[in-house]
Structures are given as C-alpha cells and as structure tokens.
Chains A and B, each alone.
Chain A
C-alpha cells in the first residue's frame, strides 16, 4: 500500500529544472496527492503562469513515481491553490542560499517595492543591497547588487 508520506518522499527526488538543488516539494508547487489502488494523482500549481519548466516538471513527476513502481500516475496542473513564495519550505530556502540564490523574504502576500529592496546577499550575508531589476533570467528571479562585497546576485523573487 502506498502512503502519502512515501509519495512526498519520492517526489523530493524531483528537482526544479532551473534550480537543480530545490525539490518540487520544497518549492511548494505540489499542492495535493490523491492515492488510489497502485495509482497516484498529483496536483501541482505553477510558480508563474508562463513558467516554461512546468511540462518538464510534470514529466519528471511521472518518471520518478513510475520508477518507484506506481502503475498509474496522473499529474493535474491547476490553480486551485495559487502558489506564492511563502510556500517555499525552510529546507528549500537553505538550498537556495547554498546554491547562491537569495531566498524570497516572507511577506504578507502584498509585494511592494520595500520588500524587493531588501534582499540579503547570498555571498556575504549583507543586507546593504540594491535591486537592479525585478526581471531576471527567468520569470522567478530578480537581479540585485551588493554594496558590501560588490557582487551582483539574484534573488528568487517574492510573489
């Protein structure tokens, strides 16, 4: 019999294709799993509506669960739960930081310019930084400059 913790454990192997240290579970995009007789239905929600990685993630979920012997895997991408960056777990935040990407600050679901301006530099830990642009190399990243160590860094942007 498959259990829910077991499925979440398996899904921890599936990483974000653009940030390969962060699992989909820690990213918070797995919103629900429904377990049947040797079948699993995974509900997912995209970080950004236009995220081009969502199809890869879907396929990876199918591949990993199939590898663990689940006969029927269904992945349902929907907006029943809307993703926001507070849904990234503590483990995920640490993984982001170790990867060199500043984790998004926790917020009250209203992102304003003040939140964006206070990114912590993942290289030296300084909060003396300035946002260069909220639009980075992917939909989920913003670009900042650290006034302490003079490095440019990216942040997983708050949403």
Chain B
C-alpha cells in the first residue's frame, strides 16, 4: 500500500474536521436559538472527536501523537480546505457551510466504508452513522429557511454564492489521486464531487435557492497543499494556546 498517499488522505480529512470543529465550537454561547447553540456545539464535539480518531490512525502509521499533530503545526503544514477556516460570519453563512461541507463529508465517509485500508473502512462505517445526524440537521434548516421569508431566502442565497468557490475547493485533487484510486483506498475527489452535486441539487430543489452556475466559478484551491487564507493562523494560535504554554500539562 502507498503509505504516503494514505497519510495525505488522512491528514486532509482530519484537518478539515478539526478546523471546522473549532469553528463550530465558536457558536457555543452565541447561537441564534438555544437549540442551534447546542447543535453546533455538539457537532463540534463530534468533528473534533472524529479528527482525533484519524490522527490516532496517522500515529499508528508513524506520525507524531494526536495532540502534537493538532497543536504544534503552523498554517502551511495544514491540509484542510480553505472553506473550513473562513470565519463563521452570520448564521446564514455558517449554515450554508455546514450544509455544503457535511454533505460532502458524509458522502466521503460513505465511500471510505469500502476502502481497502481496513482500519479506515471500519472507522468510516462508524462515522457515517454519526454524520447522518449532521446532514439531517443541515437539510432540515436549509429546507425551512430556504423557502421561508424573503429575508431568509436572500441571506442564504448570498451566502451560497459566496461559499461556492470555497466549497469546490474541498475537491482539490491530491498528487496521489491515481494511486489512491488504483489501490482502492479512496475512489477519488472527482467521484465524490459528482455524488455531492447530485445531493446538493436534490436538497436545493426543495427550496427557493438557486445553485450558482458552477462553470463560471473558479474554485479556491491550495488548502490541501498548505496554502491558506489569513484566517487560519490566528485560529491555530488560539486553539493551541494552552498546549503551547505547557505541553506536558495533565488534566
């Protein structure tokens, strides 16, 4: 098995989960409804927990300890998409990102249940079940607010237009794409993107929201290769503050 290819795949998935998990946690205490406050906090916990399981898998493949990996790298060593590091913005933007990201993530793990790398296929089966709650949550709100009032529809539409170039960056191909597909580790970003589009269109068709014309959009790439927006490093600094003060602290 091509270990380098596998590691790169695990890093990008784990980094996406960790960073978006952290962004989701920023809603704790600030949600527009108590239930939404709890929902984003709970999804944050799931995502950070899932990233830890993936970092643990990387550790078993010879990488550093999960905490070290999560808290000591600089922005240019992170493989997350730029999409997940963007600030939360207003609730409409966070909701759109949650919908676009979690739809992709649920499909990615569904594909990974068939991975030839057995520890990953087992973990993916588990995570797939948990993510069903995330997509159910996103779809419910998108359907409700996407066909509610003029304001809710126009806000979501603006956020959708703004988010789409970044969302397309989720499917930035790895330099190991061919190896991953050939060795049946992962069926590839292109296959994922096609499934994702079908699902996104299906949900949006039940609302008054319009999918932006994808052909006229330039996807925001680079995140998978360590190129990030100005928003990632401050987030990492905040996330790792305690760890950096005392890496040996026991809780």
A51 contact from B41, B49, B136, Cβ within 8 A: B49
In this complex, the member of A83, A113, A139 whose beta carbon has the largest number of chain B beta carbons within 10 angstroms is: A139
In the complex formed, the residue of B with least CB distance to A109 is B129
Docked-complex contact B122 and A82, CB < 8 angstroms: yes
Residues of B contacting A112 in the complex (Cβ-Cβ under 8 angstroms): 136
A48 at the B interface (CB under 8 A): yes
A79 touches B126 (CB 8 A): yes
Minimal beta-carbon separation of A72 from chain B (angstroms):
22
Q: How far is the CB of B242 from chain A (nearest CB, A)?
A: 16
A-contacting residues, B136-154, CB 8 Å: 136-137, 140
Closest chain-A Cβ to B120's Cβ sits at a distance in Å of 10
Among listed A7-15, A20-28, A35-43, A128-136, interface-contacting one: A128-136
Q: Is B75 an interface residue (CB 8 A)?
A: no
**Contact, CB under 8 Å: A134 / B49:** no
A123 at the binding interface (Cβ < 8 Å): no
Question: Do residues A50 and B129 form an inter-chain contact, with CB atoms below 8 A?
Answer: no
- With beta carbons under 8 angstroms apart, the residue of A50, A78, A143 that contacts B49 is A50
The interface residues of chain A, by DSSP majority, are classed as loop
**Cβ proximity bits A115-159 to B, threshold 8 Å, 1 near / 0 not:** 000000000000000001111110100010000000000000101
**A139 to B45, Cβ gap below 8 A?**
yes
B: number of interface residues (CB 8 Å)? 27
B39 contact set on A, CB distance < 8 A = 133-135
A-B CB contacts (within 8 Å), total count: 73
Q: What residue of chain A has the Cβ atom nearest to residue B53's Cβ? A: A49
CA distance A84 to B42 in the complex (A): 18
Q: How large is the interface on A (under 10, 10 to 19, 20 to 34, 35 or more residues)?
A: 20 to 34
Q: Smallest Cβ distance from B172 to chain A, in angstroms? A: 25
**Which of B119, B125, B133 makes the CB contact (< 8 A) with A135?**
B133
**CB-based contact A49/B42 at 8 Å:** no
Quick check: A50 and B50 within 8 Å, CB to CB? Answer: yes
B122 touching A79, Cβ below 8 Å: yes
Contacting residues, chain B, for A113 (C-beta < 8 A)? 136, 140
| Pair A135/B130 contact, Cβ less than 8 Å | no
List B residues 52-96 near A (Cβ within 8 Å).
Answer: 52-53
B48 in the interface (beta carbon within 8 A): yes
Decide: A50 near B136, CB < 8 A? Known: A79-B119, A82-B125, A159-B130. Answer: no
Q: How far is the CA of A136 from the CA of B122 in the complex (A)?
A: 26
CB of B213 within 8 Å of the partner chain: no
- B118 CB to closest chain A CB, in angstroms? 9
Q: Which residues of B contact A84 (CB under 8 A)?
A: 129
Q: Are A139 and B42 in contact (CB under 8 A)?
A: yes
Which A residues lie within 8 Å of B123 (CB)?
49, 79
Q: Can you list 20 A-B contacts (CB < 8 A)?
A: A45-B126, A49-B50, A49-B130, A50-B47, A50-B50, A52-B45, A52-B49, A79-B119, A79-B122, A79-B123, A79-B125, A111-B129, A111-B132, A133-B35, A134-B133, A134-B136, A135-B35, A136-B38, A143-B35, A159-B129
Interface residues of A, Cβ cutoff 8 Å to B: 45, 48-52, 78-80, 82-84, 109, 111-113, 132-137, 139, 143, 157, 159
Interface residues of B (CB under 8 A from A): 35, 38-39, 41-43, 45-50, 52-53, 119, 122-123, 125-127, 129-130, 132-133, 136-137, 140
